[in-house]
Structure 1
Amino acid sequence: MRATRVIAAAAAFLAAAAGLPACGLGGTEEETVAGKDSLVIGVKADQPALGVKRQDGTYEGFDVDVATYIAGRLGVPEDRITFRTTNSSVREEALAKGTVDMIVATYSITARRKMKVTFAGPYYVAHQDTFVRADATSINDVRDLKGKRICEVTGSNSWRRVIEERKVAAQPVTVGTYGACMDALAAGRLDAVSTDDLILAGFAAGRPGRMINAPFTDEKYGVGLKKGDLKGCEVVNRAITSMYQDGTAARLLNKWFGDSGLKLNPHVPQFEGCT
């Protein structure tokens, strides 16, 4: 009798388990971007050549094209992608709350961010450089930023690279976005804007000033996913690999930055690993 009850209980448990959502490395199917039939993707709205929101409400730029390609490889066509402006200061919150499914927005992979976000990629490795007004002839290296007013964008780590990592005693001035940084630089409220070379190249195309061409970091642009979505990370990494292997990455880099003078790398970056 007891054996019969044990067998019946085991059968009931297995039947119940069969009805549960499939659980992969990153949790339930609902918690991963893998297999979704539509995606909400966070991008920037004010970074020329990377992520810009047009007057008609659509988006364009390198990050937007990369996101569209990745979504396509995941089986989500353009008409089922919703792009959403996601500024640096709210990226972790947007992923945690599910406001967006993924973020492709010059999102550098750092140890601190990995505590809150699962990163796929990187899909590109940029390098931090510095943009100054044309008359700022005394600034030719990151060390020359000592005592200078530099832009501190909320949620961005670029100013930390100068002050905390390079130990340069610059004066950070808090500004909301890099577009506002460039406006403040032109107006004389800042002495320099130091951040990723791709970001600076986009802004430099339409503004007076000069890039000092003295890169000093590697900025690994990752695809931000909700913390724990390891299954999603793996499929996004496969999509990024395909993007480089089929020549799409080289084409997109040339499309958006071919005239910038930057040395562009058309080879697939070394992935960080899904954690």
Structure 2
Amino acid sequence: MENLIAVITDFGTKDHYVGTLKATLYNNNNEAKVVDITHSVRPFDLVDAALKLKWSYKYFPSGTVFLIAVDPDPSAELIIISTEKYYIVTPNNGIPSLMLEEEPADSVYEIVADHYFIQGKGHFRGRNQLAPIAAQLAKFQSPFYLGDERELSIIKRFRIPSPKEIAPGKFECLVLDVDSFGNLILNMENTGKLPKKAIINGVEIITASEHFKNYKKGTCFISINPEGHYQIVAYMSAASKLLKANRGTKVILEF
């Protein structure tokens, strides 16, 4: 689908940054359709941005341009990655890593078309450099005139830790993400059955359900998040607060 741009940033919504980035997209492509995936990535957090991209890209139609404006390293070159279905406009800092495990890169271009950049407005690469390029790419569906092709090996990548089987049917996992409800999303995907038990910070959780039911408020149970990862939920409450857990907290799952 031409002219669809999906945006991930760590800008938040308090300031004018999101608004001016989107204005720049429309100034460069007034027929663009812009979807906000999230502007609430933790500041400069590459893993958080990578997860949000991995969990969202597959719901978008072919031809979508993903604009990633999370940029902790201003020395990272700006690139366009093409896959079979999509384009990613991003600093070369590893954020597409998890998406590319499922949707491999076909080509990568280092952005050189600086005549599209907004000049003389301070250091704001998301708005001044990435947004104009994403707008042009959404319109023309080709990176050929926007960058110089490079070897795929230049794409920076990282992996997230995998769960470890420490005994038969017993896995050491990590909290991968804490969503806005305080649900603890683990780094283990659904194996087709629910765990019998979770242990986190000395607390045993022995209730599991694929569906939210009328539990007593604050009851913790094991469930599956919308993207197929096991999660620990507190009914009508925040498991992260009740269990004093955050990203990186160890969790034992027993099946």
TM-score by length of 1: 0.25
Structure number with higher helix proportion: 1
- Rg larger in 1 or in 2? 1
Structure number with higher strand proportion: 2
Greater relative contact order structure (CA < 8 Å, 6+ sep)? 1
